[in-house]
A and B are shown apart, each in its own frame.
Chain A
Amino acid sequence: MRHSILLLLAVLWSGHANAQTAFLDKREFSSKNGIVRVKVGVSHSRKQAVELTVRLKAQGKDTETPGAILSEGVTITPSQFKIPPNKVRKTLISFNTNATTRTPYFACVVYQPPVERMDRGGPAGGSMLLATESCSRFWVNP
């Protein structure tokens, strides 16, 4: 655990990675009575406090791709919060699973940049908004 925190601090202090990050200490979990509990460390290193959203995703088209957001039977505490830069917020994801084989899930944290009014130029104008999300894959064993 101490080493994870040291690594996290090293990353945050590197001055380049200002995105949000979801840290998992473990990548393998077991369900107990069909319930899985996963602790996620969430952080970012932007210049000011931002609001982040944590969500759980199922497998997408393959085991390396996050798919649909899972909400039924899923409790995330807290799931949305404002956090200052370079602080780590522990989040607990608890969810039901009836998986009978080793199954991948994805713990994700998303940052939605604020929508800003754009200056229009000429007969048509436009804006592009790119939200960014960081996911960590973990496996659940029945």
Chain B
Amino acid sequence: MKVLKTLLVFGLMAPAPMLAASSTDIKATGSAPTFCNISNDGGAIAMAISGEGDKLSGDGKFSFVANGNAKVLLSAIDLIAPNGAAEAIPSIDLEGLVVNKSASAEAASQPSGGVIRKQGAISAAITQNNSARLLTAGDYAVNATATCTSL
């Protein structure tokens, strides 16, 4: 009985350590996977001829989201032109991210670190590259793939 009283007295005199001990009961952990995504928000873009007849151009919209290190790659541009068309150069510009003007090489953005949510314009163009400074009449198409990579 004497021992029990002693323990009770000690317990009442030292409440702080007892409370502190109970505060470690809650523990929460989690892991968020890194990811990125990129979208062409407008589908296919219609390109219209310029007044000078030297350029086809059109605009669209894209979104880019990443929660860690990521890069965006724009593939080499596949240009489809009328048979026998005079030389022309395709280009695709993802505003503030990456530009490609090549039918044979890909282009890469600077790596983005941390979190990023970006929306911008897609500018597509086919520009004459010949001495007459004109695009041959007919139908043109430009195809490419934008790839975001979560690192």
Contact = CB atoms under 8 A, between A and B. Distances in A.
A25 B150 CA distance: 13
Interface residues of B, number: 53
Interface string B101-143: 0000000100100000101001010100000000111111111
B89 interface: no
B65 A131 contact: no
A135 B150 contact: yes
A49 B73 CA distance: 26
Contacts of A114: 43-44
Given A20-B37, A21-B37, A24-B33, A128 B124 contact: yes
Contact of B32 (A7, A24, A115): A7
A121 B48 contact: yes
A64 B109 CA distance: 11
Say what secondary structure dominates the interface of chain B. strand
B18 to A, nearest CB: 33
Interface in B54-99: 56, 58, 60, 62-63, 65, 71, 73, 92
Contacts of A124: 49, 53, 56, 135-140
Contacts of B137: 123-124
> When A and B form their complex, which 7 residue pairs have the shortest distance between CB atoms, in order from nearest?
A19-B39, A19-B37, A128-B124, A126-B140, A126-B47, A3-B30, A128-B45
14 contacts: A16-B119, A18-B39, A23-B33, A111-B39, A114-B44, A120-B139, A121-B48, A124-B56, A125-B56, A126-B58, A127-B140, A128-B92, A128-B144, A129-B141
